[in-house]
Amino acid sequence: MDTLYEELLSALHSVWHRRWIALAVAWAICLVGWLVVALIPNAYESQARIFIQLDDALAEQVGISSADKKRDIERIRQTLTSAVNLEKVVRATRIGDTIENPKQMEAAVLKLGDNVKVVSQEDNLFEITARADQSSFSDAEKAVLAQNIAQKLIDIFREENLSGDRGDMAETMTFVNQQLQARERELESAESKRTAFEAQHPEMALGGAAMVQRLETSRASLRDIEADLGAAQSALAAIDGQLSGTPRTIAGGTADGGAQSALARAQADLSAMRARGLTDNHPDVIAAKNQVAALRGAASQEAASGGGTINPAYSSLQSIRAERQANVQALQSRKAALQSDIAAATASAIQDPELASEAQRINRDYDVLRQQYDKLLQDREELRLRGEVKTGREAVKFEVVDPPTTPRKPVAPNRPILLLGVLMAGLAGGCAAAFALGKVRSVFATTGSLERATGLPVLGAISHSLTDGARALRAKRLKYFYAGTAALGGLFVVLLAAEFVQRGMVA
């Protein structure tokens, strides 16, 4: 502990013994450091906040979701500090006054990119920070420049949000219209080709796909008719069974000519149908003729029997049987017609398969082009509606919450701290220089350090005695030293005061 105390005293003695050197070094370091601090340009920042509104009920109805709008805002935020937009800022502010060639413009854009920040504080709140630190401008000019940069960024944000959307939508609509016109020309060409083919081959007018569809429809109808025919034949067999178990006449009573009356009515109905213009191939005419033929036999039997009364149940069953038999015959006629149609269509396809394939290809190409054209037409209307909503109603609206501020004081550098740091560095440097010089010259401040250095015992030390003149000279030099040290501190205070005065002048 005593050794450490002696070393401390030795160091203090060495520094104090060479105090003028320490003071000179401190002055040199402080002057150089303060000059460097003074040359550092002030930097001023202007801040602004923008609130983005995302809610729009109509936008949701036309397919503009919240995710789409957020992506649009994020895209605007990212492109706001792009090189193109920063070049607009450079040209619109005083930064561009000194730009003379593309290389200088590139350097200015890169520097401005480092001085501009767009930070998202919340989902719909953005903070724009613009810094101006050009050394060629005064502090007041840099403060105004920072505000102008922030304001220009807000203007670009507005342009990107409004006119940018309109420009993008106009370009999109132009592209869609061009594609629509191209599809329209292709569709007209395919339609002309289809019309010419159908004019040359009327039998293929419906096209291969339509013929296949018609064939499938006919086969499905044939299956339905076969099912109905089976049911009708079963019903006819059932009525035949009932008819065979029912007596034709009833003993006792007089004949009233029931079968003959029914025959007369059936013949009258047949005559009425022919009067309406129905041909013999009509299903209703065929059924009526079958009913007349069935009733003619019953009427003949009734006339030949002479005695007994015709059983009404038997006559009723005869009428029902005639009706069901007519229904069976009509279904058989329809079945035959469908079978003929299917056979003709199948034979046509088998006889000329190449022509059928060509018709199918032409119709397929036409259908594909038609679907593409209709889809593009629908997309164009949707895009037009979305564009009107975005530009007319401003689906993404924003509001300047805090306009760009005019900075009152520089944000960098912190000159008071730097000035104080330079003063501390100067004093420390001076003391270090004096101490190092003492070590180089191997001067011993105490007898103990001399003993440790030589290894020999030291018998004593002689005190330094001064005359009155020497004491007066020493006191005078001390006054000069204190004055020099005070002058260094005073210069620090003056520089500090000048810094605050300069800030007040900017404000």
CATH number at residue 111: 3.30.70.1130
Check residue 305 and give its pLDDT: 59
In a domain, 188, yes or no: no
Q: Which of 402, 427, 444 is the last residue of a domain?
A: 402
In a domain, 464, yes or no: yes
Q: Which of 170, 196, 309 is nearest to 249 (CA)?
A: 309
DSSP character for 464? Answer: P
- Token digits of residue 401: 């919450």
- Note whether 250 and 305 are same-domain residues: yes
- φ, ψ of residue 496 to 5 degrees: the values are -65, -45
Answer yes or no: are the C-beta atoms of 21 and 430 closer than 8 Å.
yes
- Note whether 220 and 92 are same-domain residues: no
In a domain, 186, yes or no: no
Distance CA 197, CA 497 (A): 99
Q: Which of 402, 422, 453 is the last residue of a domain?
A: 402
With left for phi above 0 and alpha for psi between -120 and 50, is residue 464 left, alpha or beta?
Answer: beta
Q: What is the Cα 491 distance to its own chain's centre?
A: 62
Answer yes or no: are the C-beta atoms of 13 and 442 closer than 8 Å.
no
- Note whether 424 and 449 are same-domain residues: yes
- Note whether 440 and 310 are same-domain residues: no
- Note whether 7 and 49 are same-domain residues: no
In a domain, 120, yes or no: yes
Q: Which of 253, 317, 332 is nearest to 287 (CA)?
A: 332
325: helix, coil or strand?
helix
Check residue 59 and give its pLDDT: 47
Q: Which of 174, 169, 262, 142 is nearest to 503 (CA)?
A: 142
- Note whether 107 and 254 are same-domain residues: no
Answer yes or no: are the C-beta atoms of 209 and 378 closer than 8 Å.
no
Check residue 58 and give its pLDDT: 43
CB neighbourhood size of 90 (10 A): 21
- Note whether 60 and 151 are same-domain residues: yes
Half-sphere exposure of 137 (CA within 13 A, CB side): 21
| Preceding peptide of 413 cis, ω within 30° | yes
Residue 249 β-bridge partners? 310
Q: Which range marks the domain in which residue 428 is found?
A: 2-40+413-506
- φ, ψ of residue 333 to 5 degrees: the values are -65, -45
- Note whether 455 and 349 are same-domain residues: no
Give Rg (Cα) of the chain.
Answer: 57
- Note whether 212 and 354 are same-domain residues: yes
DSSP character for 442? Answer: T
In a domain, 378, yes or no: no
Distance CA 180, CA 177 (A): 5
Distance CA 211, CA 74 (A): 55
Residues in Cβ contact with 465 at an 8 Å cutoff, skipping those fewer than 6 apart: none
- Note whether 338 and 226 are same-domain residues: yes
Residues in Cβ contact with 307 at an 8 Å cutoff, skipping those fewer than 6 apart: 255
Total structural domains within the chain = 3
Dihedral angle over CA of 296, 300, 302, 304, nearest 10: 180
In a domain, 183, yes or no: no
In a domain, 182, yes or no: no
In a domain, 294, yes or no: yes
Give mean pLDDT in consecutive 10-residue pieces for the chain, a chain of 507 residues: 66 80 93 91 87 55 53 66 84 85 88 85 79 83 88 80 55 76 82 76 54 72 87 85 72 51 78 78 82 77 59 77 86 86 67 66 79 81 66 59 84 88 93 82 64 72 74 87 92 90 69
- Note whether 312 and 234 are same-domain residues: yes
- Note whether 128 and 213 are same-domain residues: no
What pTM value is reported for the model?
Answer: 0.47
Check residue 255 and give its pLDDT: 43
